[in-house]
A and B are shown apart, each in its own frame.
Chain A
Amino acid sequence: QRLKAAVHYTVGCLCQDVAEDKDVQFSKQTIAAISEITFRQCENFAKDLEMFARHAKRSTVTTEDVKLLARRSNSLLKYITQKSEELASRNMEQKEKKKKKSSAAKGGRTGEQETAVTESEDSNMA
């Protein structure tokens, strides 16, 4: 329920953006339906990602698995691929920076950047 509430909130915000952008209104029921669909779609995604990773004999889901989710539409696949390249290059930059930093002051946490990545990927999928 807590997860559903978070999804519902975020869907509400996104719908608000679209509503302003397109000058249309969403009923509360529409937003509720979209958020329930999103919630359930996450289940589909999660199962598929797990299977894709396992199919490649991995236990860690990677961006390649995420790309497979988008395989049915060329436009979507292109978009996701672009995003993942952006992320990858940004990660590289950050790692470079981290290296410099950690060599200067010994002890940077790598956990931080990783959570940032997974978060933005989540919002991509939703």
Chain B
Amino acid sequence: ERRSSSLQHKSALFSCVTGQKQIRCHKNWSLSPEEFEIWDRLYRIKESDGVKEPILPQVHFETLENLEEISKHDEKATHELSLSEWRIWQNRPFPTSMVDHSDRCYHFISVMEMIEVLRHEQGNCSYELEIQPHLRIEDVNVQRNKSHLSVTNST
């Protein structure tokens, strides 16, 4: 019932923009009283809704000192949007509407596909086997190699 009423009010919002009277109160950056009323009634998440407020995960660097302030939010009252929950869906491009996938998006998809292939491997890694013959030792910083890696000493 919410959806149909929100549709109605979308058109109401449009008429608000086009209508003469409303344009006057629309000049501020903030919502006009009418818009606020619509937002409050249709879109605003309230306690009675039984849904948690969505929040985005924050940037965090494991290997660096973190400057970003951790915003305090009640774990139980919010729903942190997950970027990894549906990872098994992400080895193919998702449909687009107006904005095409970017190059980095395609990189992401290919890597997810690669991981999907590697997931089923046991022991030897096909990627390693394929790439190892091309290693030229002069390309790499050899000093780093203080401990022996299985990756490196099998050649």
List the B residue with the shortest CB-CB distance to A74.
Answer: B67
CA distance A119 to B147 in the complex (A): 22
Q: Does A8 contact B111, Cβ atoms closer than 8 Å?
A: no
Q: Does B59 contact A73, Cβ atoms closer than 8 Å?
A: yes
List the A residue with the shortest CB-CB distance to B127.
Answer: A32
Q: Does B131 contact A (CB under 8 A)?
A: yes
A63 proximity list for chain B (CB < 8 A): none
Q: Does B135 contact A13, Cβ atoms closer than 8 Å?
A: no
Q: Does A72 contact B (CB under 8 A)?
A: yes
Pick the most buried of A5, A41, A119: most chain B CB atoms within 10 A of its CB. Answer: A5
CA distance A29 to B122 in the complex (A): 9
CA distance A33 to B136 in the complex (A): 20
Instruction: For residue A71, give the distance in angstroms from its CB to the closest CB of chain B.
Output: 11
CA distance A4 to B139 in the complex (A): 11
CA distance A35 to B121 in the complex (A): 17
Instruction: For residue A32, give the distance in angstroms from its CB to the closest CB of chain B.
Output: 4
Q: Which residues 46-60 of A sit at the B interface, judged by CB distance below 8 A?
A: 47
Counted as pairs of residues, one from A and one from B, with CB atoms less than 8 Å apart, the total is: 106
Question: Contacts A6-B136, A29-B118 given; 12 further ones with Cβ under 8 A?
Answer: A5-B132, A8-B131, A10-B140, A28-B123, A28-B151, A29-B125, A31-B151, A32-B128, A37-B107, A40-B104, A40-B107, A73-B59
Q: Does B1 contact A (CB under 8 A)?
A: no
CA distance A78 to B149 in the complex (A): 32
Pick the most buried of B64, B121, B133: most chain A CB atoms within 10 A of its CB. Answer: B64
Instruction: For residue B30, give the distance in angstroms from its CB to the closest CB of chain A.
Output: 28
Instruction: Out of A3, A16, A44, name the residue touching B104 (CB < 8 Å).
Output: A44
List the A residue with the shortest CB-CB distance to B132.
Answer: A5
Q: Which residues 43-88 of B sit at the A interface, judged by CB distance below 8 A?
A: 59, 61, 64-68
A9 proximity list for chain B (CB < 8 A): 135, 139-140, 151-152
CA distance A1 to B135 in the complex (A): 8
Q: Does A114 contact B (CB under 8 A)?
A: no
List the A residue with the shortest CB-CB distance to B119.
Answer: A29
Q: Does A4 contact B68, Cβ atoms closer than 8 Å?
A: no
Q: Does A33 contact B118, Cβ atoms closer than 8 Å?
A: yes
A78 proximity list for chain B (CB < 8 A): 67
CA distance A98 to B96 in the complex (A): 56
Q: Does A36 contact B61, Cβ atoms closer than 8 Å?
A: no
Q: Does B125 contact A1, Cβ atoms closer than 8 Å?
A: no
